[in-house]
Amino acid sequence: MVAPDRFSTGESNLDLHSKDQSQHPACRPEAVIWPVDRVEVSEILKYANKNLIPVTGWGAGTSLEGNPIPVKAGIVLDFSQMNKILDIKEEDFQTDVEPGVIYQDLNEKLRHKGLFFPPDPGAQATIGGMIANNASGTRTVHYGSTKDYVLRLSVVLANGEIIETGTRASKTSSGYDLIHLFVGSEGTLGIMVEATLRLVGLPAEFSAAIVTFPSVEAAGKAVYEIIRSGLDPAALELLAPDCIKLINQEQDLGLNVSPTLFMEYHGPTKNQLAEVLEMVQEICKGEGSGEFRSGLGRTERDHLFKARHELAEMIIRNHPDCSLMVIDVAVPITAYPEIIAFVIEESEKIGIPGYIFGHAGDGNLHLVFMGKTGDEREWKVIDQANQHIVSKALDMGGTATGEHGVGIGKRKFMDAEHGKSLEWMKRIKDLFDPNGILNPGKIFPCK
Amino acid sequence: MVAPDRFSTGESNLDLHSKDQSQHPACRPEAVIWPVDRVEVSEILKYANKNLIPVTGWGAGTSLEGNPIPVKAGIVLDFSQMNKILDIKEEDFQTDVEPGVIYQDLNEKLRHKGLFFPPDPGAQATIGGMIANNASGTRTVHYGSTKDYVLRLSVVLANGEIIETGTRASKTSSGYDLIHLFVGSEGTLGIMVEATLRLVGLPAEFSAAIVTFPSVEAAGKAVYEIIRSGLDPAALELLAPDCIKLINQEQDLGLNVSPTLFMEYHGPTKNQLAEVLEMVQEICKGEGSGEFRSGLGRTERDHLFKARHELAEMIIRNHPDCSLMVIDVAVPITAYPEIIAFVIEESEKIGIPGYIFGHAGDGNLHLVFMGKTGDEREWKVIDQANQHIVSKALDMGGTATGEHGVGIGKRKFMDAEHGKSLEWMKRIKDLFDPNGILNPGKIFPCK
């Protein structure tokens, strides 16, 4: 079905496709295939469907909930050879891409045309993975999530059928929205083989600010006031004191070790952004802010945000012999200070290093626990803390996962989060994939 | 099942629920019921499902494609008594509403809290109708469509089951997105009984401009350059010369009779908006613009946009004894000048008054044909022009309906627009509504 050099059952290839960046246990597939076009994907799925062989799509393996771990073995489809940017329709603000295109590579290419694709999950993610998990990141507060940027999809269904859905128009009210059904479905309803993405113009000017606060509550209040004011931040990130301590130590920034907001603003001129920064500073002062560092222009923005962007790496580097679990709850923004307080308490209770940061403008909180790899007792404790935190977020009207997807780690919360609508999700799954071959063992709780 | 005064088979009530604002033929239901809560809706659907009685939801009857016309008779559920704003969570930028809430009433209430619900389909639409049709309007270019504002839904399914789906968090990657499946499904998958809507802060300052151009192409080019620049218009509307002629005549504005852009900008200060207007004027001049009228502040904005907002009424008033058909195609924005040229040609060819205007920033074009009510020959000609225009839009990669929904009028284009994915939409319909009782005869082509 495929050329022999694009099919492997070799140990090292199976190992490479057995785990993502999470702490979830590795599980090897039986074979890895690197398809080169939709016809191959269709043929493979037809065969797998007939022979009841699990098929799991693979992007870059940068996910954080075990989303592409082939827990039922079978075939992994690695899309690294379907990585072409097929077209950039500059004046329509659109691009057609294959699933294996790397997020960073796409934006590098688009930059020269004055355009960009805003969801910002991490530089190495693939577009296919981003669509599968409805990924988002620091810029979502202004620009939205991946789901807001998918105009058209070509999808191979479990039975091998290839369908196209969506439109090149920027809006539509025509029929049921299958696009949003596939986005975030983690490859359990079909396998995406081409997408048309909406793009936006690169802002003319950038600015950023770092502001410290006496308490998480004060920072949370400032977040609310900034959003309320219509100042429209392009990023609005909160870092807890432990993260600031680490940043100071690694990059010698000399920041006050206290709750800190990292903010970014985009606009047409430096003048406008200077005015915006003044208004932001005024708001922050009103909430008792301490230090206020700010800068105008792309270089200054990059400089100020460097620490934020490298934070996850710093955490990992500082805890060798540890694995990470990233908690990814999102809550209504008024509940943000309370969930942070709760998370701090849980983290202190179990005495395991936990770094708290998040996309405050979206009410999305991350808590990174660094647990000793293989230490079962420690991981049991972390798992209990995770359980408490997610349950608390759900009680607050929030969600178990703001941007990392359900994968393996969040399955057990699906009943609590979705109630009876989970049964309808399962019926949709059974409609599209009656034999259950697509990424089995994900999203739905194990019975 | 319901109090006798909320059930009617009276002629006048049946007539009132037999047609919307479109030219589609009236069709009476057998009964109208005004439910007051979800339990009643559930009981009615259980009964109807068992007895195979069609059930169609009814908001304000302001739709333009016959969307709520009960073509298979049965029961119409009129939601005008489920019109409560249940809660406004001001600091979470959320409101919980019943389906019968009127768009304008909601925004009137929200204004006092410095908030608003942006999709702008027309003042009298209900939230239920907006959700059913994924309605949008003049502000969609900046603020998006209804689908971008629905966080949670309570839906009664065909079998009477009540499900809740979504989250109060502003983002989520948890499970399949049922919200977007229900939004725009025109009451064919379930009947919405409560929604949580995302809100945005009222901008501090407003501005507007009216700019004339020598040609549609020049205006189209200006639209592209404005979007490209990141100046982020809150509305970007194109009116063809016939509309300007009508506006001059009705409101004595003395505008040049030529293709004209109506634009709106929102921002934190008048200074910023003045700067934006200068940049916009510069861009327009580069495309050979003629007159440039602009104003700062809410009053000036309202004054400049009055004519645009009243355009549809003016058209109707000027053609007594006529019915209207509104063509509602959307295309990629580079195709906008070409579809306008095509539409002008079609309109001139058939010699029936046609008013061209649209949400240029979204590539969404309206052509309002005023045909003599009951004149079969004339309506046949209009129908042919509609056929040509929609087919042209689909050839350009566009959609048959940008914001009015499929209803009755666009069913025949669904095969051409969706191909094989239409079959999957039908399978989803059959999954949720196996007896086909929910708003039958809509969206899917008649076999």
Q: What is the ipTM of this complex?
A: 0.96
Ranges assigned E (strand) in A13-107: 31-33, 55-58, 75-78, 85-89, 94-97
Q: Two tokens at A248? A: 């100071």
Q: Could you give the residue ranges of the DSSP H alpha helices within A186-297?
A: 216-228, 241-251, 270-286
The CATH classification number of B83-201 equals 3.30.465.10
Q: Are A121 and A132 in contact (CB under 8 A)?
A: no
Chain B touched by A414 (CB under 8 Å): yes
Residue B186 falls in which region: left (phi positive, over 0), alpha (psi -120 to 50) or beta: left
The pTM for the full model equals 0.96
Q: Are B178 and A425 in contact (CB under 8 A)?
A: yes
Is the domain defined by B4-80 classed in CATH 3.40.640.10? no
**A153-162: buried (b, 16+ CB within 10 Å) or exposed (e) per residue?**
bbbbbbbbbb
For chain A positions 211-240, those within 8 Å of chain B (CB to CB) are 224, 227-231
CA angle, B189 as apex, B184 and B194 as ends, to 5°?
70
Is the domain defined by B322-403 classed in CATH 2.40.37.20? no
The confidence score (pLDDT) of residue B220 equals: 87
Chain B touched by A150 (CB under 8 Å): no
Q: Residue A272: its chain B contacts at CB < 8 A?
A: 272, 275
CA angle, A184 as apex, A183 and A189 as ends, to 5°?
75
Helices A376-395 and A336-350, packing angle to 10 deg: 160
Residue B269 falls in which region: left (phi positive, over 0), alpha (psi -120 to 50) or beta: beta
Q: How far is A396 from chain B (nearest CA, A)?
A: 8
Is the domain defined by A82-201 classed in CATH 3.20.20.80? no
The confidence score (pLDDT) of residue B107 equals: 96
Q: Judge: B275–A276 Cβ closer than 8 Å, yes or no.
A: no
Question: In whole angstroms, what is the distance from residue A167 CA to residue A184 CA?
Answer: 19
Q: How far is A184 from chain B (nearest CA, A)?
A: 6
Of B201, B227, B275, the CB nearest to A272: B275
Q: Two tokens at B37? A: 């809560």
Question: In whole angstroms, what is the distance from residue B167 CA to residue B86 CA?
Answer: 17
Q: Are B20 and B121 in contact (CB under 8 A)?
A: no
Chain A touched by B89 (CB under 8 Å): yes
Interface test with A, best of B168, B173, B423 (most A CBs within 10 A): B173
Interface test with B, best of A110, A171, A328, A394 (most B CBs within 10 A): A171
Q: Which of B199, B155, B168, B195 is nearest to A394 (CA)?
A: B168
Q: Do the domains A4-80 and A322-428 sit in the same CATH topology, yes or no? A: no
The confidence score (pLDDT) of residue A229 equals: 83
The confidence score (pLDDT) of residue B144 equals: 96
The CATH classification number of B205-309 equals 3.30.70.3450
Q: Could you give the residue ranges of the DSSP H alpha helices within B214-269?
A: 216-228, 241-251
Q: How far is A299 from chain B (nearest CA, A)?
A: 20
A291-296 CB contacts, 8 Å cutoff, 24+ apart: A291/A210, A291/A211, A291/A212, A291/A255, A291/A256, A292/A209, A292/A210, A292/A211, A293/A209, A293/A210, A293/A211, A294/A207, A294/A208, A294/A209, A294/A210, A295/A207, A295/A208, A295/A209, A296/A205, A296/A206, A296/A207, A296/A270
Residue A155: CB partners within 8 Å, gap ≥ 6? A162, A163, A164, A165, A182, A189, A190, A191, A192, A193
Question: In whole angstroms, what is the distance from residue B418 CA to residue B134 CA?
Answer: 18
Residue B210: CB partners within 8 Å, gap ≥ 6? B255, B260, B261, B262, B263, B291, B292, B293, B294, B304
- pLDDT tier at B120 (50, 70, 90 boundaries)? confident
Strand-pairing partners, residue A101, are none
The confidence score (pLDDT) of residue B389 equals: 97
Half-sphere exposure of A216 (CA within 13 A, CB side): 22
Q: Two tokens at A153? A: 């999809």
Q: In chain A, whose CA is at the least distance from the CA of B422?
A: A175
The confidence score (pLDDT) of residue A157 equals: 98
Of B93, B168, B425, the CB nearest to A178: B425
Mean pLDDT lowest among B14-18, B230-234, B378-382: B230-234
Question: In whole angstroms, what is the distance from residue A307 CA to residue A315 CA?
Answer: 11
Q: Which of B295, B137, B328 is nearest to B211 (CA)?
A: B295
Domain range annotation of chain A = 4-80, 82-201, 205-307, 322-428
Q: What is the pLDDT along chain A (447 residues), one digit of tens a residue?
A: 899 999 999 999 999 999 999 999 999 999 999 999 999 999 999 999 999 999 999 999 999 999 999 999 999 999 999 999 999 999 999 999 999 999 999 999 999 999 999 998 887 999 999 999 999 999 999 999 999 999 999 999 999 999 999 999 999 999 999 999 999 999 999 999 999 999 998 998 999 999 999 998 899 889 988 988 888 999 999 999 999 999 999 988 899 999 999 999 998 889 989 999 999 999 999 999 999 999 999 999 999 999 998 999 899 999 999 999 999 999 999 999 999 999 999 999 998 889 999 999 999 999 999 999 989 999 999 999 999 999 999 999 999 999 999 999 999 999 999 999 999 999 999 999 999 999 999 999 986
Question: In whole angstroms, what is the distance from residue A434 CA to residue A315 CA?
Answer: 42
Question: In whole angstroms, what is the distance from residue A397 CA to residue A335 CA?
Answer: 9
What are B333-362's pLDDT values in tens digits? 999 999 999 999 999 999 888 999 999 999
User: Which residue bears the tokens 């009947």?
Assistant: B191
Average pLDDT, chain B: 95
Interface test with A, best of B134, B170, B226, B425 (most A CBs within 10 A): B170
The CATH classification number of A205-307 equals 3.30.70.3450
Question: In whole angstroms, what is the distance from residue A308 CA to residue A302 CA?
Answer: 10
Check pLDDT > 70 for residue B447: no
The CATH class, in words, for A322-428 is alpha beta
Check pLDDT > 90 for residue B31: yes
The confidence score (pLDDT) of residue A214 equals: 96
Q: In chain B, whose CA is at the least distance from the CA of A188?
A: B176
Q: In chain A, whose CA is at the least distance from the CA of B267?
A: A230
